[in-house]
Each structure stands twice: as C-alpha cells, then as structure tokens.
Amino acid sequence: MATKINLLPWRQELRDQRKREFGGMLALALVAGAGVWFGVHTHLNGQIAYQQNRNDFLRDQITKLDKQILKIKDLEKTKKELLARMKVIQELQQGRPQVVHVFEQLVRTVPDGLYLTKVAEAGDSLNIDGVAESNGRISNYMENLDGSPWLTNPNLQIIEVQDKGNSRVSRFTMKVKETSPSEEKDKQGGAS
C-alpha cells in the first residue's frame, strides 16, 4: 500500500507565509521610504527657513548700514562745510594784523614831499594815488615800498606833471602787491 502524503497545503502555507513576509517587508520599506522622505523634506525646509531668516537678518542689517552711511555722508558734508568756514575765519584772523602792518608800512615808506591821496585794495594788491614834489620822490617811494616786508613789486601806472601855482607837481598812480614776511620765507624756501 502506498502512502499518500499531501504536500500541497504545506507548500501553500509556505507561499502564503512568503507573501505575508514580502507584504510586511514592502510595508516596512514604504514606511521607511516615507520616513526618509519626511526627514529629508523636513531637513530641507528647515535649511530653507534658516537661510531665509539669515537673509532677512542681513537685509535688516544692510538697511541699518545704509542709514548709517547716509548719516556719515551728511556728517562728512557738514564737516567739509565747517572746515571751509574755519579756513575762512582763519584767513580773516591772519589777515587782521596784516592790514595794520600794511598801513604802517604805507606811513613809514612815504618820503617827505610826497602825499597819498587815495589807497584802494584790489585783491592782493593796493592801488595808490598820490602827489609828489618831483619824480625823484616817486622813485624813492617805490624803492621804499620794494624794501618793505609787507609790500612788494611797486608798479608805476601813470605819472603826470602838472603846474601848481609857482611849482610843478607830479601826480601818480601805482600798484603795489601785498605780501607778508612768512609768505616771502615760504617762496624763498621753496625756490632753494
């Protein structure tokens, strides 16, 4: 008698068990894939949000710096204006004693027999009108002006000889350049 063993249910059970294992593995793989996708997605969104926060911070800082740059430019403009004003004031302060010296030199350099009728300032020069008893007195006056530390380069513009009663007088107009002893030293120092 032959024994009949039915192996079919055992094979069917093995197939069913493998299908269940495959389904479990497939479900586990899907869950793991979804977990990885969720993790990567969350990480990338976090990185994007972090970078956007950094960008926003940088924009805020750039805006603040732009405002500070505008303030600095305004301050530099104000500084330049103040420096220009200070320079003008300094030049005026330096020029105050020069006027006194120039008038003193005008008085000291005038020889006897010569009279000044008009003195006018034109830039850094003086226009001088006067009357002299002779042309020699005018020449002497020009030499005195040239020797002055505050006046230099006298230039005779006009000389007219006129009769005045019993005598003759010479009316003259000349230009003389204003200077200061410190400017002369600077020019001599720069020339050597």
Are 109 and 143 within 8 A, CB to CB? Answer: no
For the chain, what is the mean pLDDT? 87
pLDDT tens, position by position, 147-191: 888 888 899 898 898 887 788 889 999 999 988 776 555 555 555
pTM for this entry: 0.49
- Structural domain spans, the chain: 19-97, 110-191
Extract the tokens encoding 181. Answer: 């002893």
Say what the pLDDT of residue 184 is: 52
Say what the pLDDT of residue 182 is: 66
Dmax (CA) of the chain:
187
Sheet with 167-178, side-by-side order of all strands: 114-122, 125-132, 167-178, 151-164
pLDDT tens, position by position, 115-155: 999 999 887 888 999 999 888 898 999 999 888 888 888 99
- DSSP letters spanning the chain: -------HHHHHHHHHHHHHHHHHHHHHHHHHHHHHHHHHHHHHHHHHHHHHHHHHHHHHHHHHHHHHHHHHHHHHHHHHHHHHHHHHHHHHHHHHHHHHHHHHHHHHHPPTTEEEEEEEEETTEEEEEEEESSHHHHHHHHHHHHH-SSEEEEEEEEEEEEEETTEEEEEEEEEEEE--HHHHHHHHHHH-
**What top-level class would CATH report for the domain 110-191?**
alpha beta
